[in-house]
Each structure stands twice: as C-alpha cells, then as structure tokens.
Structure 1
C-alpha cells in the first residue's frame, strides 16, 4: 500500500479544543535504515508492527505495510528496539473531509508538535486550519525514525 501524506509544524495548541480523540503512543524502531524502517508501536493497548519503504523524492509518498500484534509481543519487541523510544500523544482533528493527526511529543522530543494529513493523491486540496504551520513534508529530520536517533532536544534551533 502506498501512503500519501503531508507533514506540518503546529503553531499553537488550539487544535486540542477541536480534537475528537487522543491516544498515547510509545514506539521504537528495529531498523531506521532510510531504505526500510521497521517500527513497533503500542497505541494505548494495541500493538502494531509497521514496515515503511523509502520515501519518494519529494517525501509525499512511500510504501507502508502494517500488521496488528498483541500487546505482550509489542512490549517484548520494544525491548529489542534501538535506544531512544518515541513517546507522544496523538490528537485526531476532523477538518472538513480530512482528519489531521497531531503528535505532541514527550521525553527527548518534548516541545515538538507535528500535524500529518493523509491524502488520496499528491495533488489533493485540503483545508489549512489556523494552527497549521510550516510544511516539513520530506524533511527527514522530522521522521519519527530520525527523531529516535537525533531527538528534538539536541537540535540547535
């Protein structure tokens, strides 16, 4: 399956008032190779294993395969993951016909807030709420796999 998404920084916290759901996510990476990442995620009590392929040149699309796994399996696999785990709260916000996933990062990535919107095509129009900031689609330093190696708290902003 090919995933098409755009990624943005977030200007403020007003999206929280519009959220219809939030979930706690902990994830780690068995592989952060840009050619293929392998992620283990625990979202509330649901585990998943995801394999993502290399991003297109503009960063808009890439292959993604995901399979649900048990919580005990996810916990065991998280222990095998590379050092820094990603800890975040994801807020879901519906804006017209699109759902934005806004990740508020904790621990080593505290202070970083990223919004993603999945699209049906690379040229699809979508609403841009006032809290949506600078686009960072294709900027590899904002990929979760890279945030696990170079966390936000060590960046020289």
Structure 2
C-alpha cells in the first residue's frame, strides 16, 4: 500500500483529476476493505473499540490517498475508506459467525474453510487492483 501511495504521489501531475480520482477510489476501497477484514478476523471482537478501529483505519487510508487531489476528492476518499472499513468489518463478522445472516453452517471445519477461502480471495483481489493501478500509472 505504501508503494502504491509513493508511486501515486510521484506520478500525480501526469494525469487529470478524473483519472486520479478513479484510481484513488479503487485503491482506497480495496485497501480499507482488506485491512478491516483481516483486523476483524485476527483480533478478538469482544471489545467496543474493535468495532470502531477498522472504520477509523479506513478513514485514515481514504484521507491519505484523497489528499493527493483537490478537496472534493478528499471527501470522496474519506467516504470510500469508511465504507470499505465497514464492509470489511461486516464480512469478517459474518465469516466468524455465519448465523448472523442465517447461513446454515453446522461444523467449525466448514466455517474455517470458508474463512480461509474468502481471505485468500480478498488478498488476491487486493493484489490485482494494486497491480492494475501500478500498470495504469506507467507512462
């Protein structure tokens, strides 16, 4: 993520605001989603702070990428970061306890398998989006 930010900041002046805003939305959403999902899965969810931490981290990621462009994109980056954080947190909660959405999974082995598969899929999705953004920045 830091490499994407440095490359994004370095090449910022080469592109118009519309293209930069689209790239900012994509990397902010997927980065905050991935990080919130991993935080929700790895850390215990018994504390109240664990509900707010992924959203705050998503807002910080959105603010960081959104600050590269003008003021409306900053708001857009913060919004996408917060939404990505909330969605990652919700998916992590459902992966830990499928009964929240009335998904009939009885065995813990099946729950663990679904958790592994979806986290690997999200990691691959984050890698693909990062690669596509780096590829689109090359001039």
TM-score by length of 2: 0.26
Query: More strand per residue: 1 or 2?
Result: 1
Query: More helix per residue: 1 or 2?
Result: 2
> If you compute each CA radius of gyration, which structure gives the higher value, 1 or 2?
2
TM-score by length of 1: 0.24
